[in-house]
Amino acid sequence: MAEDLVTIATFRFLHEAELARMFLEEEGIPCYIADGESIAMDWFFGNAFGWIKLQVAAADAQRASAAKEQWPKPRDRSIEQEAGVDTLRCLSCGKRMLENQMQCEECGWSYADTVDESAEATELPSNIRDWKPRPRSEPQVEEEIELPDTRIQRDRPLPRPRRLDT
């Protein structure tokens, strides 16, 4: 079976390989991750083993290469940070939205739609609305009791050290 497998991609991190594996399996292409646990255990082995490999059967290599082109690209935050623009994504279609943009241009979804207007209109119950914190009471000071010193008795002299003569 090992001869039938073809490596279509390599990854440095196991979670990236797992995401790619799940993407291919959703497309109906069975695939396997090789050396994932070894590299995750000690990433110094990455150069020696050739990093984490995503492998498919030789018969599915063409379909897997075509599906690989559709993989979502990782988000590059450095470009956005240099421009000083923070982008958000539409929760309905995934299109990028600017921070001050409230409605998606693609599908029309809006963050304002997610607010439950009935929750704002309801009034709090009177027991919660009228609740006030109790004032803290002053801690009671207890009478101090002098405890006896058990290490040294005050009226007895300390024992003299013994001298050892040989």
What pLDDT does residue 162 have?
75
What pLDDT does residue 22 have?
92
Residues spanned by the domain of 25? 2-68
What pLDDT does residue 71 have?
82
What pLDDT does residue 61 have?
93
Same domain, 20 and 62: yes
What pLDDT does residue 95 have?
82
Same domain, 14 and 37: yes
Record the tokens describing residue 95, joined without a space: 């299109």
Residue 124 forms part of a structural domain? no
What pLDDT does residue 110 have?
76
- C-beta separation of 103 from 109 below 8 A: yes
- 157 torsion bin: left (phi>0), alpha (psi -120 to 50), beta (else): beta
Residue 99 forms part of a structural domain? yes
Residue 123 forms part of a structural domain? no
Residue 43 forms part of a structural domain? yes
Same domain, 48 and 100: no
pLDDT in tens, the chain (166 residues): 556 899 999 999 899 999 999 999 999 999 999 999 999 898 888 889 999 999 999 999 999 999 988 887 665 555 556 665 556 778 778 888 776 677 788 888 776 655 555 555 456 555 555 656 566 677 666 777 777 666 655 666 666 777 777 5
| Radius of gyration (C-alpha) of the chain in whole angstroms | 35
Last residue of a domain, one of 10, 38, 68: 68
Residue 19 forms part of a structural domain? yes
Identify the CA nearest to 81 among candidates 99, 64, 103.
99
- 135 torsion bin: left (phi>0), alpha (psi -120 to 50), beta (else): beta
Last residue of a domain, one of 40, 68, 96: 68
What pLDDT does residue 107 have?
84
Residue 55 forms part of a structural domain? yes
What pLDDT does residue 104 have?
82
Domain count, the chain: 2
Same domain, 10 and 63: yes
Same domain, 32 and 54: yes
Last residue of a domain, one of 36, 51, 68: 68
Residue 143 forms part of a structural domain? no
